[in-house]
Amino acid sequence: MTPFNRNFGQGRNTKAVRLDMNWKELTKAGNIYEPGNAATYETGDWRTIRPVWNKDRCIHCLICWRYCPDASIISTDGKFDSFDYKHCKGCGICASVCPVHAIDMFSEDEIDRREEARKNEE
């Protein structure tokens, strides 16, 4: 027998799969060898609307933290801290459960346009 070729799926011990990996480097059949790897898969670029926090209104009840399906509300010392925009999919659940309307959803396109305009002014 000739020695094994292993012409695919060389990422046997790959902890994370990355977008820059080609078909030879990726794990065979998409098998996953490390638990908790969802953190390495950035779902933030699925987002078309972005939650934005209104610091003055927030009463730090953390209802948004409990409801966020993607664990994308970061809290520190029992208080609202920030959004994890790398994983927030922009579902808007946080905005709709917030009892004091301290989260607003803005279109990503609109935010991009505004940033572009600001850069041009500078």
Partner 1 sequence: MKNKVAITGNEAVAQAMKQINPDVVAAYPITPQTEVVQIFSSFVSNGQVDTEFVTVESEHSAMSAAIGASAAGARAMTATSSQGLALMFEMVYIASSLRLPIVFPVVNRALSGPINIHCDHSDAMGIKDSGVIQLFSENAQEAYDNMIQAVRIAEHPDVLLPVSVNFDGFITSHALDVLEVLDDDTVKSFVGRYQPEEYLLDAKNPVSMGNFDMYDFYFEHKRQQVAAMEAAKKVIEEVGKEYEAISGRKYGLIDAYRLEDAEMAVVVLNSAAGSAKGVVDELREKGMKVGVLKPRAFRPFPFEAVQEALKKVKAVAVLDRAETFSTLGGPMFADVRTALYDLKNDIKVVNYVYGLGGRDLRLEDVEKVFGDLADIIKTGRADKFVNYLGLRE
Residues of this chain that bind ligand SF4 (CB under 6 A): 51, 58-64, 68, 70, 72-73, 80, 83, 88-94, 98, 100, 102-103
Residue with tokens 């579902």: 91
Nearer to ligand SF4, 11 or 49 (CB): 49
Distance CA 47, CA 87 (A): 9
Nearer to ligand SF4, 11 or 90 (CB): 90
Nearer to partner 1, 3 or 78 (CB): 3
- List all residues 6 or more positions away from 21 whose beta carbon is below 8 Å from its beta carbon: 11, 14
Among positions 15, 33, 109, 114, the unique one binding partner 1 when judged by CB under 8 A: 33
Minimum distance of partner 1 from residue 1's CB (angstroms): 6
Distance CA 20, CA 27 (A): 13
- List all residues 6 or more positions away from 57 whose beta carbon is below 8 Å from its beta carbon: 100, 101, 102
Minimum distance of partner 1 from residue 46's CB (angstroms): 10
E strands, 59-117, where?
73-76, 79-83, 103-107
Number of residues that bind partner 1 (CB under 8 A): 23
Interface residues with partner 1 (CB under 8 A) are 1-2, 4-9, 12, 17, 19, 21-24, 26, 28-33, 35
